[in-house]
Every structure is written in structure tokens, then in C-alpha cells.
Amino acid sequence: MKQTAIIFFLLGVLTFYSCKVDPKIIEPLPTGNLVEVVPDGWPQPKYTFSVNTISEDKFALGRALFYESMLSADNSVSCGSCHQDFAAFANAEHAVSHGINNHNGNRNAPAIFNLTWHPYFMHDGGINHIEVQPLGPITNTLEMGADINPVIVKLQASSKYKGLFKKAFGSDTVNSQRMFRAIAQFMGLMYSYNSKYDYYKRQENNVQLSDAESKGYNLFIANCNACHKEPLFSDFGFKSNGIAISTFYQDSGRAHITGLPQDRYKFKTPSLRNIAKTAPYMHDGRFNTLNECLDHYANVKPNQINLDPLLQNNGLPLTAQDKQDIIAFLNTLTDYKFLGDKRFSDPNY
């Protein structure tokens, strides 16, 4: 009798408790680490997940899709093939992307993090929204070489994806909007804001910069920050930095999108966060080391078409020691917490 009473009592309490729960949070909650992040002092992001509500199931679907080779024409290449977690989602040791049928692409796979602040995507800025970004590489004949509808058919036929779509969206229908929103959620939640530089700026854990790093930071502010602007380390502008046009790729850059002569050979300013991990460098991956990059900036050939005005005077006035100090500073931009974050690694391994 007593037991029954207790059970009844508990049931009653539970009933009241469930009544009190806000209907908004009855849905499975993220475990607390899948949340939108806007670090102190950063601008407001362009993408806010307002129409793509964050959930663990959507994130899990996005993660599965990011590493899914069925997204390519011959099931051989996934997003993760060229965007590797240990390289801050750039492509280690690949100047340009290696696509289906042994094709080589014509640009270097950019790193992925803090994408919610990007007003546009790709080196030429041709893609205007994080959700439609995957269309670029998926349909590029040199990269994943697929059409979106055959990809949808393949996913719809897979019991694994039927289950993942059902969990994420409430029904097992695969469509392009669901696919892209799930991938956008996965990529958009890749935040990098915990480098040594960040701890130093936030005065956390007593982190101090070394002499070289500190000198490098001052040199960085004087010479680099105009384009690679803190705290995102990019102004998201399009610039020609004076690396001569590759006669092989003949890539006109931003002009490929706008058709404007004043945009020829301009490319989107990449973030320098995690830069020590994202070699090779430049839009066509022509430099293998940061030393080569700094050597270029210290000696830019003048009078090139559309060369950025800040680099007209033979580039930046940097001594050999300055360059080493700047590299010491750039090394403080590596976010080991982000690089080791298992939520973003391939779930198949």
C-alpha cells in the first residue's frame, strides 16, 4: 500500500513537473555545447541559425553528410576529403583540391571555421549564403562532380540517412533544403576563438605573449591588420596581393563573378586564424610555408594590375627579424581546442 502511494505521489509530482516545462524545451536539447557563439568584442554574425534551429540531430546529420562520399558523382569524395579537421578544415599538402576521376581543381581548399561571420564564400565570393555554399564543390566537375538530384536519390535510398533525416526533421524525406541546412548547421558551429592569442586578449589563464610574439603582434597591427583585421583576421574584402597570375590556372578571381576589370586577380582575404595549420597558402596553394608568404609580402613587384594600394611600394617594409617575429605571432593564432574537437571529426572512424 505504502509503495503504491509513493508511486502515485511521484507520478503526481512528475505530472506537475511536466506541466511546468516550457513547451519550447521539451524538444531534445543540445547537450549544451552546441550553441551559437559570439565571443566578447566580436561583431554580430551574418548567419544566426534563426531559421535553422540548432539541434543535436540536425548537427549529427550535417556531420554525417559532411563526411559522406555519396555527395560526389562516383561516391569517392566527401567534403571532408579536402577539408580535414587536423588542418583546421583546409587540405594539408594539397595546393588545389583533388576531385573525382583524378581531376585536380583550380583552387586551394579554404579552412572552415567562424563561417557565420562570412558575408560570402569561396575565394571569389561567388556564393552568397552559408546554406548554399556546398552546391559549389558538390557540382564542380573537377571536385565532387555531382548533380544535386542524383545525390538526393542516393540519400533517400539509404536507410541510414532516412533515419538521420527523420530524427533531424521529423520525417525521412530527403530534400535539398534539409540537406543544406544540416550541413550549414555543422559547419556554422565550427567556432575557433580559443587560441593563445584569444586567451591573451581575454587575459585568461595568465597567458602572456613571448617577446618575439609580442613584437610580432605589433608588427602585425602595423602591417597586416588593415586586411587581416582582428578579431576574425579578415576584412572579407577582395584584394590583389601581387602574387603574379598563374599562367596555368589563369584565374581572374573576383572578376569571374562580377565581370568587372577592376576586380581582376582579386581574391577574398582569408582569415589568419589557425594559419600555421592550413598550408599550403594562397588561392592556388603556391606557397608551402609562412616564410615564403612573408618573403612575398616583403618584396611585392609594383605596378601589377589592380595591386592593392597598401602593397604598391614594393610591399611591406619587413626585415628578416620582423618576418620571424610575425610568424611567432601567427603561431599564437592556432586554436588547439578547435583542432582537437571530436564533435567535428569524421563519425565513421
Which of 144, 224 has the CB closer to other proteins?
144
For residue 300, the minimal CB distance to other proteins (Å) is 29
For residue 303, the minimal CB distance to other proteins (Å) is 29
For residue 223, the minimal CB distance to other proteins (Å) is 33
Other CB atoms within 10 A of residue 194 CB: 16
Which of 180, 338 has the CB closer to other proteins?
180
Which of 150, 317 has the CB closer to other proteins?
150
For residue 195, the minimal CB distance to other proteins (Å) is 29
Helix ranges (H only) for the chain are: 2-20, 56-66, 79-82, 135-139, 148-156, 159-169, 176-188, 196-202, 211-223, 255-258, 290-297, 320-330, 336-339
Supply the DSSP symbol for 290: H
CB 140 within 8 A of CB 105: yes
Closest CA to 134 of 102, 193, 194, 182: 182
For residue 297, the minimal CB distance to other proteins (Å) is 29
| Distant-in-sequence, close-in-space partners of 74: CB < 8 Å, separation ≥ 6 | 100, 101, 145
Which of 80, 134 has the CB closer to other proteins?
134
HSE, side-chain direction, 13 A CA sphere, residue 165: 21
Sign of the torsion formed by the C-alpha atoms of 285, 287, 288 and 290? negative
Residues that bind other proteins (CB under 8 A): 1-2, 4-5, 8-9, 11-12, 15-16, 18-19, 51, 122, 126-132, 135-136, 138-140, 148-149, 152, 175-177, 179-181, 184, 257, 259
Cell 582575404, located at residue: 269
Task: Give the distance from CA 164 to its chain's centroid.
Answer: 23
For residue 17, the minimal CB distance to other proteins (Å) is 9
Which of 179, 328 has the CB closer to other proteins?
179
Which of 49, 297 has the CB closer to other proteins?
49
For residue 13, the minimal CB distance to other proteins (Å) is 8
Which of 87, 179 has the CB closer to other proteins?
179
How far is residue 220's CA from residue 78's CA, in Å, rounded to a whole number? 36
